[in-house]
Chains A and B, each alone.
Chain A
Amino acid sequence: MATLTEARALEPALTAPPRRRSRRPLGRTGKVVGYAVVLVAAAALLLPFYWMVMSSLKNNSDVFTIPIQWFPKTFVWSNYVDIWSKGDMLTWLKNTLVLSVSVTFLQVLTGSFAAYGFARMRFPGRDALFLGYIATIAVPWQSYMIPQFILMSKIHLTNTLWSIIALQAFGAFGVFLMKQFFETVPEELSEAARIDGLSEYGIYRRIMLPLSVPAIASLTLLTFVNTWNDYLGPLIYLRSPDLWTIQLGLKSFISQYNADYAWIMAGSVVSVLPIAILFMLGQRYFVEGIATTGLKG
């Protein structure tokens, strides 16, 4: 009996993560150095954004100088007011938002749906078809842009927001990403569910999706960012000024012989903020991953 209680007393010590013990030798100086390194790295990462913000507050002709001005001589706060009046920032924001949300929603939905088919179902031609998907990612878009444009205009989709939604929502990227993540979910779970009488669609909805929250979060964020920052697609397909996205709208500040760079930078800063906020808010879906319990008993 004594040995049992001894054993039980020892148990927490044995299962306690030894991580805490190995961390102490790092000490305070180690932590300070570590944080300093990370801070320098963060500064390097944020430098261009810092320049963008500083330039958005300069006079137009002070944006590009020798040597580079890291700090504006005078702060021109009116740039942030001007972009709303000189440019149709509200419309651009609205269009960009509509596009990003719809494309993201459709990509995640149809992409994960198709990914389940590729990852878990067996049907003839599966691997070849999947390779075909990935293969199209390998073709640079500029090379088939014109045939695609001719096709789209024949079905009367050009110069509408639907054109961008149609183009981006059925991409191979989402299918590929979700398939890889579905493969990390153990087969045993699906088997057990199948035995319980769940249909494939049910397995997809009740097991695969909930377990892939980090992947879905990543796909959502990346698709959103890509659509938000897309320039070439809208350039070709969205011609009417009331359809412009932010990237197109900002380019309208570049006329043939002159450019309002300070305004472009101000608009770019405004454009980056929603994404940064989205990213920070979405962190929790990456951090708190779903522990895949119930595996080996």
Chain B
Amino acid sequence: MKRSALALLGTAVVASLTLAGCSSGGGSSDDATADGPVTLTLAGWSLSTTPEFKTLADGFHKVDPNVTVELKEYDATNYDTQMTADLSAGKAPDIYVQKNLKNFYTYQSGNQLLDVSDVAAKLDKDATGGLSDYEVDGKTYAVPYRQDSWVLFYNKDLFKKAGVAVPDGSWTWDDYDAAAKKLTTNLAAKDSKALGTYQHTWQSTVQGFALAQSPDASILDNDFAYLKPYYERSLDLQKAGAQVSLGDATSNSLTYQAEFGKQQAAMMPMGTWYIATLLSQQGTGDADTFDWGIAPAPQYDASTTGTDQTPVTFGDPTGLGINPKIDKKKIAAAKEFLAYAAGVDGAKSLASIGITPANTSAVADTFFQLKGMPTDDLSKFAFSTHDTKPENPVSSKTATVQNILNDLHTAVLSNSTSIDKAISDAESRAKNEAP
């Protein structure tokens, strides 16, 4: 008796869930254009400390004073959980940010994004980094407004102190390793506690590069052998004491901002989002004042090194998507907003606050005029010239495989499992859990 009652309950609930999922938006008019003022709601996070949303909203209002973009606050670390809950209950805002490329697939395959191929057609396909990542089956479902890529941050003062040559854009990973070890030894000789480099605890610090740079590497074919050389190098650096081990970094909850900003390490591979943070922290005194620069990320081999080539690195775009439940009358305005954010005008306003926009070609000068930015040519090159591959290629298997690879990451770098065993474990798990 209880079982059938449960089943009845369950059916009732799921019926209402599916109805919620399928019901269309409130707008009944087919009128595609809106006359008079339109208000769009946009999801953002940490509004008080993340100015990019307000910048885009205000900038767009100047372009089209008819449209006001209202910001809705979400939690920075749990954005996707909250957004998932809101979308499933039909309460999400008109436009919402695609914060993590890893979750884009879920939203798109769950029909939570409007087709915006017409917006994408208006954008410069080559200059807008990350646009192709949002394309599924020939249609585009979101547009990127920012795309950070990973570069090598380095502390010019520490390099001078150690007497080691600064990066010049020609480094492979072997050059990077050698420099890290030399820096550590020389700095120790000068009574400095700083290490050669700092590799943050995220799996992307190793796997992102491995995936982007290794030829024919893919996370979707259950072959993870391409990770081996990258992990061997990391383990080698840990063993040589040139970088803090993963165990020590996690157990002491080290933050990458403090490690580089307080000069605990002379180098650090990190995403370009850190530029704005470092500038602001140097302004408030949270970080030391020192001479720094960015260099292209170390390369797989010499074929992509040098300032006459395009260095290969990784990075995921951050984009905007339209909620299919949006009032039909507002769709045109929403699409205009997307076009603005991903286009040159949006890029310029974002660059003026230190954000790396999706379209970096038009904004290098604006960006480098910010107070405290390094002014050398290599930094400008690293910022504007790169072949950025996605860290999380869009597919149904990506989230699962990335979780498996994260376990590999912690197992290998904590010396709990050998790299070969960890790779074979990951491959069998991938076959099992992400068929």
Contact = CB atoms under 8 A, between A and B. Distances in A.
A257 B258 contact: no
B85 A241 contact: no
Contact of A150 (B17, B75, B274, B286): B17
B16 A64 contact: no
B14 to A, nearest CB: 8
Nearest to A154: B16
Interface in B356-411: none
Interface string A253-274: 0111111010000000000000
Interface residues of A, number: 33
Contacts of A150: 13, 16-17, 20, 88-89
Interface string B66-78: 0000001111111
A190 interface: no
A149 interface: yes
A236 B85 CA distance: 7
Contact of A255 (B49, B81, B85, B274): B49
A197 B89 CA distance: 53
A86 B273 CA distance: 23
A257 B273 contact: yes
Interface string A155-196: 000100000000000000000000000000000000000000
B46 A239 contact: no
Interface residues of B, number: 41
Contacts of A158: 89, 91
Contacts of A255: 45-46, 49-50, 76
A46 B6 CA distance: 47
B281 to A, nearest CB: 8
B277 A149 contact: no
B255 A64 contact: yes
A61 B77 contact: no
B416 interface: no
A110 interface: no
A239 B13 contact: no
Contact of B254 (A64, A240, A258): A64
Given A235-B78, A236-B82, A241-B73, A61 B46 contact: no
Contact of B45 (A65, A86, A256): A256
Nearest to A149: B85
A135 B261 CA distance: 51
B90 interface: yes
A241 B72 CA distance: 10
Contacts of B89: 149-150, 153-154, 158
Interface of A: 59-61, 64-68, 86, 145-147, 149-151, 153-154, 158, 235-236, 239-241, 248, 251-252, 254-259, 261
26 contacts: A60-B286, A61-B255, A61-B286, A64-B252, A66-B244, A145-B85, A149-B89, A150-B13, A150-B17, A150-B88, A151-B13, A154-B16, A154-B20, A235-B75, A235-B78, A235-B81, A239-B73, A240-B73, A241-B73, A252-B46, A252-B48, A252-B75, A254-B76, A255-B50, A257-B257, A258-B277
Which 10 A/B pairs are nearest by Cβ-Cβ distance? A255-B49, A153-B89, A255-B46, A61-B258, A64-B253, A256-B76, A149-B85, A257-B277, A66-B252, A150-B89
